[in-house]
Amino acid sequence: MIVPLTIDLPRSIFKALALLAAYVKRNWHKRREGVVLRYPFLSVIVPAHNEEDLIERCLEALISVNYPRLEIIVVDDGSTDKTYEKASKYAVRGLIKLVRREKTSGRKAIAVNHGLKFTRGDIIVVIDADTVIGKDSLTEVIQPLLEDGVGAVAGNIRVLNEKENFLTKLQSYEYMLAMEVGRLLQSMANLLLIVPGAFGAFRRRIVEGVGEYDVDTITEDFDLTIKIHKVKQAVRFAPNAIAWTVVPATWRGWVRQRVRWAKGQIITLAKHWNLLFKARFGRVGTVGVPDMIFMDVVLLFLRIAWIVLVLFFSLISFSLTSLMVFALIVTFYMVNELIVTIPCFLYIEGWRGLKRLAYAPLMVLLYRPLHSLVRLKAYLEALVRKETGW
């Protein structure tokens, strides 16, 4: 129990206290009525590949936003379904620009870079074709970019198809805890490492200055964010810039997505190894990336080895003591989960959010262990350079 007690528990307590501080700050510093918001011209890029079921919903939401000055560029990256035909209806009406690549590039980064050629705005917003944004989300996401020294802003991603089945409910739980609150706390510490590909905003000159999106990694959002940090631009989180994305509804689809994410993560970390412990890159180099490597990679192997040893010794010496040890471990992780989730769901949804705690045992006993195995698989695939596309 050395690792759980010395690493997991203190981090959970720290997160709970930081959330309390964020709650106090939010209620003491609410945006005052009458504040004049600025509306710079935006270029919104929507890369799409075989999104015939979702592209219209995405475009309808974009067209309906409360933002006066924007252009929408849809890049159809060699879709073999009816994505292009459905998007064409909006292009004919002059609501969007539609660009088509006859042959798929196999990389979202190439599609976005292609779309950049047709943009005019000084601020670029990238939105996935399976994502629906709120009416005020564009206004919210670009406000931090109006501050000097801010190069990118992460939108707040939630789950659109949460009610579809059991798996999507678990992912909604995860998104709120790991992605929404996680990004909030990272942003507070100036350690935000990923602007999500589903919804993010960037200064055009910064994106062009770092060479746009690279195509040598499958997590182009993580890679671009690290490059922005390397040129000493701040990355912020806009919690009120909400977008809802469709998550995998099958375990097979979920595994495929998480393998892609984890594989891309390790490849991108290896690519940017030169910022590790370099003071000139600020907290990201000395704290942010080292912490990600330790928590996501090193501890993954340590935990799996620890679980294997616990199970092995429990099987060869099955007794009441081994059952008690197992019960103690499960109890610890349940308590540890509640330390973070209770303030998390209270912060996001108020008292009604506590109903999500019913999923905590399943997250601890099923979802997180399975996710660890999937990430392990991905890291091993990254070592043998197995290819992954869209």
Q: β-strand 234-245 against 42-48: which pairing, if any?
A: unpaired
Q: Say whether both 289 and 323 belong to one domain.
A: yes
Q: Which of 232, 249, 266 is the last residue of a domain?
A: 249
Q: Say whether both 203 and 295 belong to one domain.
A: no
Place of tokens 């010496």: 317
Closest of 35, 67, 190 to residue 138, by C-alpha: 67
- Determine, yes or no, domain membership for 257: no
Q: Say whether both 180 and 303 belong to one domain.
A: no
- Determine, yes or no, domain membership for 61: yes
| Phi, psi angles (nearest 5°) of residue 148 | -65, 140
CB 183 within 8 A of CB 142: no
Direct distance between the N- and C-terminal alpha carbons of the chain, in angstroms, rounded to an integer: 40
Phi-psi region for residue 50, left (φ > 0), alpha (ψ -120 to 50) or beta?
left
| Percent helix, strand and coil across the chain, each to the nearest 5 | 60, 15, 25
Q: Say whether both 368 and 292 belong to one domain.
A: yes
Q: β-strand 199-203 against 123-127: which pairing, if any?
A: antiparallel
- Determine, yes or no, domain membership for 180: yes
pTM: 0.88
At residue 279, the pLDDT reads 86
- Determine, yes or no, domain membership for 27: no
Distance CA 165, CA 255 (A): 16
| Phi, psi angles (nearest 5°) of residue 101 | -100, 120
- Determine, yes or no, domain membership for 85: yes
Q: Which of 249, 264, 295 is the last residue of a domain?
A: 249
Domain that residue 363 falls in: 2-20+277-383
Quote the DSSP letter at residue 197.
T
Q: Say whether both 68 and 108 belong to one domain.
A: yes
- Determine, yes or no, domain membership for 390: no
118-128: average pLDDT? 95
At residue 29, the pLDDT reads 58
Q: Which of 230, 249, 268 is the last residue of a domain?
A: 249
Tokens of 289: 């990336």
Q: Say whether both 165 and 290 belong to one domain.
A: no
At residue 387, the pLDDT reads 57
**Exposed e or buried b for every residue in 338-347, given b needs 16+ CB within 10 A?**
ebbbbbbbbb
Domain count, the chain: 2
Closest of 285, 231, 236 to residue 293, by C-alpha: 285
Q: Say whether both 241 and 363 belong to one domain.
A: no
Q: Say whether both 182 and 48 belong to one domain.
A: yes
CB 242 within 8 A of CB 134: yes
SS (H, E, C) 67-96: CCCEEEEEEEECCCCCHHHHHHHHHHCCCC
CB 51 within 8 A of CB 83: yes
Q: Say whether both 198 and 103 belong to one domain.
A: yes
Percentage with pLDDT > 90 across the chain: 67
In this predicted structure, the answer to whether residue 388 has a pLDDT above a threshold of 60 is no
Task: Give the CATH number for residue 76.
Answer: 3.90.550.10
Instruction: Convert the pLDDT of each residue in 20-74 to its tens digit.
Output: 887 777 766 555 444 456 789 999 999 999 999 999 999 999 999 999 999 999 9
The contacts of residue 179 (CB under 8 Å, 6+ apart) are: 157, 196
Distance CA 183, CA 192 (A): 6
- Determine, yes or no, domain membership for 12: yes
Tokens of 164: 């579809």
At residue 164, the pLDDT reads 93
Distance CA 300, CA 295 (A): 7
Q: Say whether both 152 and 55 belong to one domain.
A: yes
Q: Say whether both 77 and 204 belong to one domain.
A: yes
At residue 228, the pLDDT reads 96
Q: Say whether both 293 and 327 belong to one domain.
A: yes
- Determine, yes or no, domain membership for 388: no
